[in-house]
Amino acid sequence: MIDNLFLRIIIVCMRLGEVVQQLRKEKGLSQTELAQKIGKSMRLITYFERGVAGVSLDTLYKIAEALGVSVSELFIRAEEKFQDPEVTILMNRIEDLPEEDRAVVLDLIATYLAHKRKK
């Protein structure tokens, strides 16, 4: 069974790409330029920013360095994005479900997110 904390971690990790995209644009960097700075492909940056693919911790450290922030800052910003009122409302509704139903919903969400990442 997947618990609420695990689901929150998954969502925050998936939002890292959005944070990277925002910071990259603030710095005036293209995806190609960021990719060159970290020695990776532009496709990886594109997929990561869209939440389609993840990156290794090593790559995340390189991205953070290229953007002039710490990895902690990336996670803090992703957590702030998690404070979306719609997400909070849904999480509260899930928490109010009976344990068995909550487990089913969380498993469905985790399966969906895993499937989305594979595309």
Query: Mean pLDDT across the stretch 54-73?
Result: 94
Q: How confident is the model at residue 67 (pLDDT cuts 50, 70, 90)?
A: very high
The CATH fold assigned to 4-118 is: 434 Repressor (Amino-terminal Domain) (1.10.260)
- Among 15-19, 63-67, 90-94, name the most confident range: 63-67
Domain ranges for the chain = 4-118
For the full predicted model, state whether its pTM sits above 0.95: no
- Angle, helices 4-26 vs 57-67, to 10°: value is 40
| DSSP assignment string, 36-67 | HHHT--HHHHHHHHHTS----HHHHHHHHHHH
Q: What is the pLDDT, as a whole number, of residue 117?
A: 60
Q: How confident is the model at residue 32 (pLDDT cuts 50, 70, 90)?
A: very high
